[in-house]
Amino acid sequence: MILQIQNLEEYQQVYQRSVADPEAFWAEMADSFVWKKKWDRVLDWDFRTPKVEWFSGGQLNITENCLDRHLESRGDQVAILWEPNDPEGETVRYTYRELHAAVCRAANALKANGIGKGDRVCFYMPMVPELAIAVLACARIGAIHSVVFAGFSATALADRVKDATCKMIICSDYNSRGAKNIPVKKVVDEAMDMGCDSVTRVIVHRNTGGEVAWNDRVDRWWHEEVDGQSSDCPAETMEAEDELFILYTSGSTGKPKGVVHTCGGYMVYTCFSFKNVFQYQDGDVYWCTADIGWITGHSYIVYGPLLAGATTLMFEGVPTFPDAGRFWQICEKHQVNQFYTAPTAIRALMARGDEWVEKYDLSSLKVIGSGGEPINEEAWNWYNEKVGKGQAPIVDTWWQTETGGIMITPLPGITDTKPCFAAYPMPGIQPVLMNADGQEIEGNDVEGLLCIKFPWPSMIRTTWGDHDRCRNVYFSAFADKYFTGDGARRDAEGRLRIIGRVDDVINVSGHRMGTAEVENAINQHGHVVESAVVGYPHDIKGQGIYAYVIADRTDAEPLRREILEVVTKEIGPIAKPDKIQIVPGLPKTRSGKIMRRILRKIASGDTGNLGDVSTLLNPEVVEAVKEGAV
Ligand code: WTA
């Protein structure tokens, strides 16, 4: 089994070792997995290209490490524990043996439908066990999965399917979420009508059993394709650097990009980080509330826990259905030991009052985690006192889609914790703070731009179909460093606090969004002339979306409604602006650049000191924008 750090002294010693000789350290970590063939070279890298290769020459299949390896030692242990949306519904359990068989059947079904190594398969599914099963089935046969969060619109789905030229889409009929029954297949049908010509098969999992339209040429039922298959499917031999998956994420410009992760390094790092960050012990029940449509679900619902032989709980529903006690009811029901959620959920539940959390016995909790966005002090304290009862340490985990795994975090019971501080780098992670001139800022009690100066196994390899974009976005701002896009502060004792994005990316309810992407969507409205989108502090969501819109119509109310519709159609409801202000103009520099700094201040209600606006092309609009603020 992979190294699990036990105490502070060991953390310090392991960290030193991982930095002094990273190759030796990661070779040792990689040694605890099943390889079909050992690697020839631990690491080969050049951030200028960028080229990052871990364990090259090595051959493996990640599913053998998630499943086959555990059959003998824990075949009858529960691997996936599934809790339905409906609290009266039945919990579903897959032991490692059952999961192995289910994955093999699904893998054989994929093959029978023409999917092979290197083909891309898109997923558009709710949080049902079949999603995890089918994702693993792809990995089993060497197909590359691209999971799209099922809240995205048909347009957004079609964009992603086309970018990765997926051969297949796997979806459900409907998604039962809270009190709603959301059509899923219908969205896929719409996406298919938008020119997804590469797709030759749509496999539909019958979830709620509602009516769906059917296209005999491409559509097939999951149960008809999967149920009769053999539960034996040899795992495809993969090179360590073969692609495992693509996951689309937003950046400051352009369309979302497909972040590519590869088999070997991702396997080693997600397992290592899972074991250490959550201090998972045999027999524990671990629950991460994320959706598999995001990186957190990939790394810490599916791969990390299964690699570590854990019992991972998967929840179909939402935190507030049927009431605001649902998370805690599930924790009590399944005696959850490690609980991992997002600050936005903590804030939303905190706002509903303490009675919900006090109703349930949470004494099984040993570690509680937070991640995906900054956690404010009030939420941290509430989480600590009301959920952890001061007994379960909070791990505030900082990481990104691009990092593949948790990078900066306390280790529970091992390092100290401090509200709002992700605190300490994981072994093998070398964070640095940089100033705008490209120099490293040393010492403590300082603030700068967060970079990572040495490769780690689960880092991004490329952006699908556009390697230059990967270089330009992450490796060109600072020579020989990976730039995160985040600002951070190092306190007097050396702990790191993530301040937030320094680019035009905003984080709304833990969902990452490019302001340019939302602007592009708004601009699809025929009467919108120009728009500018910024984030502003929002009590529950962390950040809200504030849109300034210039239009050639004056009926503000209908216009607002139509803009919301356009954004929902272009991206999905998660990108709907919280506030839309119709403005006569946007403050611009003489070179025509929108002054977002001013717009951010106005959106935050901070209009006292807007700085010097006299150099603007159109200083007079600032007053008008200020006055019309919503
Ligand atoms: C932000 C989510 C503060 C950060 C796993 C990062 C955080 C972006 C934290 C990545 C944290 C993530 N504290 N900010 N603990 N974790 N972030 O790709 O701005 O959806 O760059 O990955 O979320 O979001 P992504």
| Cross-strand pairs, 146 | 122, 246
CA 310, CA 72: separation in Å to the nearest integer? 14
Q: Is the CB of 485 under 6 A from ligand 1?
A: yes
Q: Is the CB of 399 under 6 A from ligand 1?
A: yes
CA 587, CA 56: separation in Å to the nearest integer? 51
CA 528, CA 531: separation in Å to the nearest integer? 7
Q: What is the CA radius of gyration of the chain?
A: 24
Full-prediction pTM beyond 0.95? yes
Confidence of residue 1 (pLDDT cuts 50, 70, 90): confident
607 pLDDT higher than 90: no
Q: Say if CB 409 and CB 277 are below 8 A apart.
A: yes
Contacts of 167 (CB under 8 A, 6+ apart): 114, 115, 119, 120, 121, 198, 199, 200, 201
| H-only helix segments in 335-424 | 343-351, 355-358, 377-382
Nearest to 247 by CA among 374, 103, 370, 120: 120
Q: Is the CB of 249 under 6 A from ligand 1?
A: yes
| H-only helix segments in 416-479 | 467-470
The pLDDT tens digits of the residues spanning 257-316 come to 999 999 999 999 999 999 999 999 999 999 999 999 999 999 999 999 999 999 999 999
The residue whose CA has the least distance to atom 17 of ligand 1 is 373
| H-only helix segments in 53-193 | 62-63, 69-74, 96-112, 129-141, 154-163, 185-192
On the 0-12 / 13-18 / 19+ scale of CB atoms within 10 A, 137 is buried
Name the token pair of 415: 């390092």
The pLDDT tens digits of the residues spanning 104-158 come to 999 999 999 999 999 999 999 999 999 999 999 999 999 999 999 999 999 999 9
613 pLDDT higher than 90: no
Query: Which pLDDT score is estimated for 611?
Result: 83
* Interval between CA 372 and ligand 1 midpoint (Å): 4
Q: Is the CB of 297 under 6 A from ligand 1?
A: no
The pLDDT tens digits of the residues spanning 307-355 come to 999 999 999 999 999 999 999 999 999 999 999 999 999 999 999 999 9
| 295, 296, 373, 473, best to mutate for ligand 1 pocket (most atoms within 8 Å of CB) | 373
Section 506-525 average pLDDT: 96
Query: Which pLDDT score is estimated for 119?
Result: 98
Query: Which pLDDT score is estimated for 252?
Result: 87
CA distances from 412 to 3, 4, 7, 396, 397 (A): 15, 12, 10, 10, 11
Q: Is the CB of 482 under 6 A from ligand 1?
A: no
The pLDDT tens digits of the residues spanning 219-251 come to 999 999 999 999 999 999 999 999 999 999 999
Q: Which residue has the tokens 């080969």?
A: 44
3-state secondary structure of 321: coil
* Interval between CA 20 and ligand 1 midpoint (Å): 28
3-state secondary structure of 115: coil
- Look at phi and psi of residue 57 and say left if phi exceeds 0, alpha if psi is from -120 to 50, else beta: left
Q: Is the CB of 393 under 6 A from ligand 1?
A: no
Taking the CA of residue 370 as reference, the ligand 1 atom at the shortest distance is 15
Q: Is the CB of 170 under 6 A from ligand 1?
A: no
Contacts of 602 (CB under 8 A, 6+ apart): 610, 625, 626, 629
Section 154-178 average pLDDT: 97
Section 547-564 average pLDDT: 96
253 pLDDT higher than 90: no
Q: Which residue has the tokens 């919301």?
A: 564
Residue 573: CB atoms within 10 Å: 11
| Residue 423 C-alpha from the chain's centroid | 20
Q: Is the CB of 295 under 6 A from ligand 1?
A: yes
Confidence of residue 614 (pLDDT cuts 50, 70, 90): confident
* Interval between CA 485 and ligand 1 midpoint (Å): 10
The pLDDT tens digits of the residues spanning 183-224 come to 999 999 999 999 999 999 999 999 999 999 999 999 999 999
Q: Which residue has the tokens 């300490």?
A: 424
Name the token pair of 232: 């034996």
Strands (E), 394-435: 394-397, 431-434
Q: Say if CB 143 and CB 110 are below 8 A apart.
A: yes
Section 17-28 average pLDDT: 98
| Residue 291 C-alpha from the chain's centroid | 8
CA 456, CA 542: separation in Å to the nearest integer? 29
Torsion of CA 610, 615, 617, 619, to 10 degrees: 40
CA 381, CA 65: separation in Å to the nearest integer? 38
Confidence of residue 608 (pLDDT cuts 50, 70, 90): confident
Query: Which pLDDT score is estimated for 609?
Result: 83
The residue whose CA has the least distance to atom 20 of ligand 1 is 512
CA 95, CA 335: separation in Å to the nearest integer? 18
Q: Is the CB of 290 under 6 A from ligand 1?
A: no
| Residue 13 C-alpha from the chain's centroid | 31
Q: Is the CB of 500 under 6 A from ligand 1?
A: yes
* Strands across the sheet containing 243-249: 219-221, 201-205, 168-172, 120-124, 144-147, 243-249, 257-262, 462-463
Mean pLDDT of the chain: 97
The residue whose CA has the least distance to atom 2 of ligand 1 is 372
Confidence of residue 177 (pLDDT cuts 50, 70, 90): very high
